[in-house]
Amino acid sequence: MKLLIIEDDENILSFLKRGFDEDGYIVDSALDGEDGEYLAGMNSYDVIIMDWMLPYKSGIEITKSLREKKITTPILILSAKGEIEDKVTGLQHGADDYLAKPFSYKELVARVEALHRRDISNGVNLITLGNIIINSDTKTVRKDDENIELSAKEYELLLFLIKHKNGFVSNAMIEEQLWNNQEYINSNVIQVTIYHLRKKLGKEFIKSNRGIGYKIAV
């Protein structure tokens, strides 16, 4: 899962980046509202975590701007403004969740995971694609009533393809989303991961078009 964290407190930002990195997330970050909004508009993220009070542009202003641009990435406001009225304001302006500081890292992770599941599955915990069922709560996959064991990367790639179902995703999009452009470009990691997914889920489940990319058609 790829996250964007916009937080002007360097200690909090460092703590969050370290925690999410260790938990296997891919993280981009910004220390002010202008840089954060630029990243949110230029890149694809699964969830955006941002402070309310930011230099140059507030979290609420960024949220309103992104929604006006039809960017629907789930947004979690993380703020010291913890009154009910503040939470209502954040949600009314387009945020999907609101967590007051101080906060529990475990709760933050749980909320981020919940937002991601909701975004992928349109609010339901079971995604059914023909004879394949994905449980987004337990992160399990079944085909013809049999459990299918997927690696973490295979599962993330499956969700990414489902998120963009009926449209092709390129190697570059997959690389940027799942590996954050790490230096493996000369390898065939994406092709190998696709191969294993097809072997486990069915060759025709994932369509490919040479030079364009891959898609799940439903």
Task: Give the CATH number for residue 24.
Answer: 3.40.50.2300
* pTM for the whole structure: 0.70
The number of beta carbons lying within 10 Å of the beta carbon of residue 58 is: 16
- Averages of pLDDT over runs of 10 residues in the chain (218 residues) are 94 94 90 95 92 93 93 90 80 89 93 84 72 84 90 89 86 81 63 91 87 84
Pair (88, 155) in one structural domain: no
Domain with residue 174: its CATH number is 1.10.10.10
Question: Which among 121, 148, 176 is the end of a domain?
Answer: 121
Print the domain residue range for 201: 126-215
**What is the per-residue pLDDT for 175?**
83
Question: Which among 92, 121, 150 is the end of a domain?
Answer: 121
Pair (117, 178) in one structural domain: no
How many distinct structural domains can be found in the chain? 2
**What is the per-residue pLDDT for 129?**
84
Closest CA to 78 of 120, 45, 49, 39: 49
Pair (11, 96) in one structural domain: yes
Pair (16, 115) in one structural domain: yes
- 85, two tokens: 């009225």
DSSP string covering the chain: -EEEEE-S-HHHHHHHHHHHHHTT-EEEEESSHHHHHHHHHHS--SEEEEESS-SSS-HHHHHHHHHHTT----EEEEES--SHHHHHHHHHTT-SEEEESS--HHHHHHHHHHHHHHHHHTT-SEEEETTEEEETTTTEEEETTEEE---HHHHHHHHHHHHTTTS-B-HHHHIIIIITT-S-TTS-HHHHHHHHHHHHH-TTTSEEETTTEEE---
Pair (37, 79) in one structural domain: yes
Question: Which among 121, 142, 169 is the end of a domain?
Answer: 121
Pair (110, 146) in one structural domain: no
Pair (112, 56) in one structural domain: yes
Pair (186, 114) in one structural domain: no
Pair (100, 189) in one structural domain: no
Pair (81, 7) in one structural domain: yes
DSSP string covering 49-61: EEESS-SSS-HHH
Pair (94, 35) in one structural domain: yes
Pair (98, 203) in one structural domain: no
**What is the per-residue pLDDT for 186?**
47
